[in-house]
Amino acid sequence: MSPENTPHLKPGQNPLLRWILRIHEPLRRDRTLILGEKALRLHELHNQGCRVPDGLLLSAGFFREFIHLAGLNDFLASVSAAELKGETDLRSRVWSVFRDYSWPSNLLSPVEEQLSALMGEESCLWAVRSAVVGEDDEKASFAGQYSTVLNTALKDLWSAVFYCFASFWSERALVYRRQKGCRVQDPMISVIIQTQLNPEYAGVFFANHPSDAREVCLVAAVSGL
C-alpha cells in the first residue's frame, strides 16, 4: 500500500488511539501483554508514588496497527523470514525503509497531538526508549541490546522512534536471540517516549548484584546524564 492509498482516518476513528497509553494514567489489565517490561515497571513505579517522568507508551499493538495501515506487513514478514535463515544485516534494512518512507500525516498525528498536550506551552526534549515484550525472564536478559535515543526534539521524534523499532533486528540482538533460542516470527516491540531529564547524577539500581550470586543491592552512578 502506497502512502497516497493509505486510508484517511478521522481523529475519532483512528484505530491507533487505543494502542497509545500515558505513563501517568491507570493501566488496563488487557494492555499488560502488549507492553515491554520497562514500560510496565514505569507504570508500577508511578502507581507506588515514585516521581516517574510522564510520557507516552506506544504499545506493540500500536506498531502492529501502524504497519498494517502503512501496507508494510509483507516487508516485515520478509525480515522475519530472513532472521530465521540466519541473516544478520537486518537493522539497516528496516531502518532505511522506515526512515525514507513518506508517512501519511494521519498516521503520525495521534502521537504528536498527545505529546503536544503533555508539553503545553513549554518546549521539551524526549527520551525515546525501546521496550520489547518478554525481553527479560529467568533465562535471558536483553538489557542493552535494543536502542535508546536521548534528548530528542519533537521534530526528530519519528526518526528516534523508528531507530528504536529497528534495533530489534540489530546484529547483537539477533545473535543473542539465537544463542538463547528465542526465534521470534511476530516481533512484539513497544517504544517509550518519556520526558527527558537533565540530572545532576544518573545511574542504575540493581536489587541483586548483577554479576555474581550475592544478595546485595548495588547502585552504579555517574555525574550528569
CA distances from 140 to 147, 172, 173, 179, 191 (A): 17, 14, 12, 10, 20
- Tell me the angle at which helices 157-166 and 105-119 cross, rounded to the nearest 10 degrees: 110
Q: SS3 of 62, please?
A: helix
What pLDDT, on the 0 to 100 scale, is given for residue 29? 67
Please say whether the beta carbons of 106 and 65 come within 8 A. no
Tens-digit pLDDT profile for residues 156-186: 999 999 999 999 898 888 888 888 776 666 7
Grid cell locating 58: 506506544
> 3-class DSSP state for residue 166?
helix
What pLDDT does 4 receive?
43
- Residue 33 has a pLDDT of 63
How do beta strands 55-58 and 126-132 pair? unpaired
Asked if 97 and 166 count as a contact pair (C-beta separation under 8 A), the reply is no
pLDDT at 6: 46
Task: Please report where in the chains the cell 499493538 appears, as a residue.
Answer: 61
| Distance from chain centroid for Cα 73 | 19
pLDDT per residue, tens digit, the chain (225 aa), is: 344 444 444 555 678 888 898 999 887 666 666 787 788 888 889 989 999 999 999 988 899 998 998 889 999 999 989 988 888 879 999 999 998 888 888 888 889 888 888 887 677 899 999 988 765 555 545 566 788 999 999 899 999 999 999 998 988 888 888 887 766 667 788 899 999 999 999 998 888 887 887 889 999 999 998
Q: Which residues pair with 126 in a beta bridge?
A: 152, 195
Residue 191 three-state SS? strand
| Look-up of cell digits 502506497 | 2
The amino acid that residue 42 corresponds to is L
The predicted structure's pLDDT at residue 10: 54
Q: What is the pTM of this model?
A: 0.84
CA gap 217, 107 in Å, rounded:
44
Note the pLDDT of residue 141. 56
User: What are the CA-CA distances from residue 216 to residues 28, 202, 221 (Å)?
Assistant: 34, 20, 16
**Residues constituting the chain:** 225
- Contact between residue 103 and residue 134 where contact means Cβ atoms under 8 Å apart: no
